[in-house]
Every structure is written in structure tokens, then in C-alpha cells.
């Protein structure tokens, strides 16, 4: 994968996760070890080779933390017995009440566009203004398209500082 540009440069999140998974594999990280700062910087440099120098280390670290949070939230959702996810169509189905509760789908909400997903914010609750990852669009609950890559990274047992 060295020196090969992805076919679609717009999908930086997937490329970033692939670089992280590749570095974990090549670095020989085993459960119980800590991901080294040098490895993280190496991943950042490789990412910037493709997407340019506009992404700072701070931005990429924050993005990584958000990806970890999204992974944890989606894992909790998928742990319910009555929730199903079709990976091909990336659609979640199951208990409508549970999905409405998790995604906080209400009549008095609006969508705030944040690529590649939408954030759903309840205008009546200040606590909801902390961005809640919501994937409800056009009457469909969307899954986490990079969930398999996230599992490769976060389920290995390697800690990140």
C-alpha cells in the first residue's frame, strides 16, 4: 500500500483507518501493548502524503478519538439482540423504539450536515448540543460503514495514549 494513492481521495476516514490497521500489523502490536507515539506520527505523515499538509497532528488525534467513540457507540447498539445490520446496504433495522431512543429521532429536530454523516440535534435540550452521532436519514437508520476496520484497530487490546 506504500506510495499508492487511493482511488477516491475523498474517503479520508477509511484511508486513515487502513493506515492505522496496517501500522498495527507491521509494528507487531500485541494485546496489552501501547501504541507508540512514533507509530502514530508515522501514520499521520503517510496520511498527509495523500491528503496534503492541511491536517495537523492535533486534528488527526482528535479525529482518532472521535472514531473510537463512534466505534464504542455502534458496538453498544449492535450488542442488543433485536438490532440487525445489513453490511451491504449499511442499514440498521430492528426494534424501532430502541433505535429512536438511541438516535433521538423526534419531530422537533434538525439535521446538521457533517460529512460523511449527519448529526441530529434536539433544539429543546441543551445536553444534545454535544454532537451525538446520528445516522437517521430519509427514514432509514444508517450503520457504521468502517466498522470492520474499526474492529481491527480497537478490538486487538492495544491501548492508545
CA separation, residue 142 to residues 19, 45, 79, 84, 137 (Å): 24, 31, 16, 11, 7
Q: Answer yes or no: is 132 within a domain.
A: yes
Q: pTM higher than 0.85, yes or no? A: no
Burial of residue 51, with CB atoms counted within 10 A of its CB: 0-12 exposed, 13-18 middle, 19 or more buried:
middle
pLDDT at 112 over 70: no
The answer to whether residues 19 and 59 belong to one domain is yes
pLDDT at 94 over 70: yes
The Cα–Cα gap between 28 and 106 comes to: 46
pLDDT score for 135: 66
* pLDDT tens sequence across 52-70: 888 899 999 999 999 999 8
Domains identified in the chain, total number: 2
Q: Answer yes or no: is 107 within a domain.
A: yes
Domain that holds residue 130: 91-142
pLDDT score for 154: 92
Q: Look up residue 137 and give its three cell numbers.
A: 436519514
The answer to whether residues 76 and 42 belong to one domain is yes
The answer to whether residues 117 and 138 belong to one domain is yes
The answer to whether residues 63 and 127 belong to one domain is no
Residue scoring higher pLDDT (33 or 120): 33
Q: Answer yes or no: is 57 within a domain.
A: yes
- The span from the first CA to the last CA of the chain, in angstroms, equals 26
Q: Collect all residues with Cβ–Cβ distance below 8 Å to 85 and sequence separation of at least 6.
A: 78, 91, 92, 93, 143
The answer to whether residues 95 and 150 belong to one domain is no
Per-residue pLDDT band for 138 (boundaries 50, 70, 90) equals low
Q: Answer yes or no: is 32 within a domain.
A: yes
Amino acid at each position: 500500500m506504500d506510495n499508492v494513492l487511493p482511488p477516491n481521495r475523498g474517503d479520508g476516514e477509511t484511508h486513515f483507518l487502513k493506515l492505522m490497521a496496517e501500522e498495527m500489523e507491521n509494528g507487531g502490536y500485541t494485546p496489552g501493548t501501547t501504541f507508540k507515539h512514533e507509530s502514530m506520527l508515522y501514520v499521520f505523515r503517510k496520511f498527509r502524503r495523500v491528503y496534503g499538509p492541511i491536517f495537523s497532528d492535533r486534528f488527526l488525534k482528535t479525529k482518532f478519538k472521535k472514531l473510537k467513540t463512534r466505534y464504542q457507540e455502534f458496538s453498544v447498539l449492535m450488542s442488543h439482540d433485536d438490532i440487525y445490520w445489513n453490511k451491504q446496504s449499511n442499514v440498521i433495522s430492528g426494534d424501532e423504539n430502541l433505535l429512536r431512543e438511541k438516535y433521538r429521532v423526534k419531530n422537533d429536530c434538525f439535521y446538521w450536515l457533517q460529512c460523511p454523516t449527519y448529526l441530529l440535534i434536539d433544539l429543546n435540550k441543551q445536553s444534545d448540543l454535544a454532537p451525538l452521532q446520528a445516522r437517521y436519514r430519509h427514514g432509514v437508520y444508517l450503520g457504521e460503514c468502517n466498522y470492520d476496520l474499526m474492529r481491527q484497530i480497537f478490538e486487538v487490546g492495544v491501548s492508545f495514549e
